[in-house]
A and B are shown apart, each in its own frame.
Chain A
Amino acid sequence: MLALGLDIGSRTTDAVWLADGEIVDSAVADSGFDPAAAARTLADRRPVDVLVATGYGRHTAREAFGCGVVTEIKAYATGVHALFPEAAGALDIGGQDTKVIALAADGRVLDFHMNDKCAAGTGKFLEVMARALGFTLEELAERALAAPRGVAISSMCTVFAESEVTGLVHRGADRGAIARGLLESIARRTLTVVRNVCTGSPLVFAGGVAKNPAMVLLMREGLAGREVLVPADRGVDAQVVGAYGAALVAAAS
C-alpha cells in the first residue's frame, strides 16, 4: 500500500510517500500563490492508496482531494515519535509558526504550544533577515557560526527587526555578528517556550529551521544537560517530518 502525507505550509508544501512504513520518496515544493495547485502537482506524481494532509492548507486539501486531515501538532508528534521513539518532546520551527510538543512514551501529545499571531522567529523571519543582510539562508547560518559573538538585537517584530538590521549594517556592524545576534535572539525566545512546555530529554528539533546548523548549535547550548536530536540523524530531511507524520497517519487509517 502506498500512502502519501502532504504538509501544506505557508512557505513550502512537503510530501512523503510511504510503502509498508518505509519512506520511498519525498519532495519539497514552493507553496506559491496557489497551495492547492502545488499540492496537486505533488500528489499527481504517482497514484497512491491513501492520502492525509496537514499544515496550514490542510482544509484546502480536504476540499480538493476529499482526504483526511490532521493538525501539524499531531503530524509532527507522529513523525518525530516514529523517527525517535525515545523522544520526550519536539520543537518545530516552520515557515510561519513555532510549535513545542511534549510527548508521552507512546507518542501521544501531552501538551503543546504554538505561536498565536506573530511569525517572529520563524523561517519567514530568517528569510527576511537574510535578505536584509544580503545573505542566502545557508550563508546566514555559516556566517553566524563563524562570528565569535552576536550583536544584540532588540526587536522581534519582523518589520522592526529588519529596520534594526538595516540600521546596524549602515553603521558598519559586522554582518556575521548581526546574523549571530538574530539567531541568538530567536533561540532565547524559543528556549523559554521549550522550558515551559517540555522538560524531558531527548528533544527533537525539526521543521525547516532545524536545517540551520547555527540554530541547532544554539538550541544545544541553551538546553545543556538535554539531548537535542535532528531528523538528519536518521537520514530524514527536517522539513518533511510533518509530511512523514501525515503519511504515517494515512498508512494507519
Chain B
Amino acid sequence: MTTPTDYHPMWDELGLDLPSHDALLAAVGSLYADAYLTQTNRPQAMSYLDFVLSEVHGLRIKELHDFRAAGGKVVGTFCLYVPEEIIRAAGGWSVGLCAGAEFGLEEAERIIPRNTCALIKSFVGFKLARVCPYIAESDLVVGETTCDGKKKAYEALADLHNVHVLELPQMKRPQDLAFFRRELDDLRARLEELTGKQVTADSLRAAIKEVNDKRRALQRIAAARAATPAPISGKDALLATQVAFYDDVPRFTGAMNALADELEARVAEGIGAMPADAPRVLITGTPMALPNWKLHDVIEKAGGVVVGEEMCTGSRYYDKLVPETGETVEEMLDAIAAKYLDINCACFTPNRGRIDDIMRMARDLKADGIIDYALNFCALYEAETFNVEKAAREAGFPVLSIQTDYSAEDLGQLSTRVEAFLEML
C-alpha cells in the first residue's frame, strides 16, 4: 500500500476553495462507491476507469499542471462540437469541464437565471465556487452557441476567464457548412496564437488519427452492448464516454481497446454484466456530464440494463469519424467541419436525423424500450421529446419521458416511474 498523494498544495496553488472542494470530492466518492462499486460481474478492464475516477482531480490534474509548466496549453470545452482534433494539432490538450453535479447553485444564480438547466448552472457554479480544477488549469475555454442558456452563460464566464466562442449554425445547408468552416479557421487562429504553434498538415493528420482511434475504441464498446446478455453495465459504458472528454488520448484509447477486447471475449462466451433477461433500455436526450449517473443508476438498480446512449456522452460523441484522406490542412479542416456538422443535436432545425439515429440504435441494440431524458429547462430536448415519443410509438417501442435535474429530490418518484416502465417491458 502506498500512501495516497496529498494534492492539497496543488489545489491551493490553483486557487480552489479547499474545504468546498474536499466536500465535493467526498460527495462524488460516495456517489461512485454507491453507484459503481456495488456492481457485480464488472469487466476487469474497468479497473482502469475506477483508477481514473479516483484520481480525476488528482493525478490527471497533475499531468495538466506539468504539461503547462513545460509550456503546454490546456483548452477547456463543454460541448462535443468543439473539435478536439484542431486543439491537438495546435499542440494543446483538450479537457471537458466540470458540469455534472449540483454545486455552487447559489453562486451561479447570481449571474445566470434560476430557470437555467442543471448542466449550465453546474459549470457556472463550479467556476464561481472554485471547485473545478479543470477550468483552473484551462488557458482558454472554447464555448459554442448550441443553446441560448449557454450563449449567455459564456458571456458571464468571459468576465471571469479567457473565453473563445465558436458559432455553430442552426441549420445544415451548404451555406451553413461554409460558415462553420470559416468558424474553424477563426478557432484555429485563436489556438495557434494561444499555443504559439502552427497547425500543420502533419500535426492535423496525426490529431485526426488519434481522435478517430479513440472514437473507434468507443465504437467497439458500443457494438459489444448489442449482445444478450449485455457484457457491460450501462453505467460502466457511460463512464467510458464521460472520461473520454478528460483523459490522455493515446492512453485512454489503449485502455478502451483493452476493455473492448474483454467485452468481445465475454460476448463470445456469453458472459454478461447483467442477467440475460434484464429489460434492455436505450437512453436518448441531454448529455450526462461526469458525475451525473442518476438515471442509469436508477434503471440498473431496478433490474434493467442500459444498452446505449443517444447522447453527447454517447453515440453522438463517437459514432462519426473524420475521413483520414485529407492531404492539406484546408482539406482536413473541410472534412472536420463536415463531420461535426453531421452530428444530430437538438440545436439544429430540422433534426430528423436524430430520430433516425434513435430508431436505428433501438433496433441494432435490441432495446425493449426507450427512455427519453431531458434536463429541466432544456427547451431544445424537451421540445424534441414529442418527436421521440411519436417515432418510438410508431416503431413499436415503449417510451418513457423523464425530465429531471441533478438533485435527489425526485428520486422516489423517478424510481417508481422507471420501475413501472421496466415492469411494462
Residue positions of A touching B, CB distance < 8 A: 56, 70-74, 97, 108-112, 114-117
Contacts and interface: CB of A to CB of B under 8 A. Distances in A.
B413 A116 contact: yes
Contacts of A114: 413, 416-417, 420
Nearest to B424: A109
30 contacts: A56-B412, A70-B423, A71-B416, A71-B419, A71-B420, A71-B423, A72-B416, A72-B420, A73-B420, A73-B423, A74-B420, A74-B423, A108-B424, A109-B424, A110-B424, A111-B398, A112-B417, A112-B420, A112-B424, A114-B413, A114-B416, A114-B420, A115-B413, A116-B404, A116-B410, A116-B413, A116-B414, A116-B417, A117-B409, A117-B410
A110 B421 CA distance: 10
Contacts of B419: 71
Nearest to B302: A71
B420 A97 contact: no
Binding site of B, secondary structure by majority: helix, strand, loop or mixed?
helix
B403 interface: yes
Contacts of B416: 56, 71-73, 114
Contacts of B409: 117
B421 to A, nearest CB: 8
A111 B401 CA distance: 11
Contact of B403 (A74, A108, A110, A116): A116
A117 B420 contact: no
A125 to B, nearest CB: 16
Given A109-B423, A114-B417, A116-B404, 4 more contacts: A56-B416, A73-B416, A116-B414, A116-B417
A123 to B, nearest CB: 16
A109 B369 CA distance: 14
Contacts of B412: 56
Nearest to A97: B413
A73 B420 CA distance: 6
Interface string B50-69: 00000000000000000000
A122 to B, nearest CB: 12
A11 B398 CA distance: 31
Contact of A117 (B398, B413, B423, B424): B413
Interface string B173-190: 000000000000000000
Nearest to B418: A71
Contacts of A109: 420, 423-424
Contacts of B403: 116
Interface in B389-419: 398, 403-404, 409-410, 412-414, 416-417, 419
A56 B414 CA distance: 11
A110 B397 CA distance: 11
B294 to A, nearest CB: 14
A74 B416 CA distance: 10
Contacts of A72: 416, 420
B89 to A, nearest CB: 45
Contacts of A108: 424
Contacts of A71: 416, 419-420, 423
A146 to B, nearest CB: 35
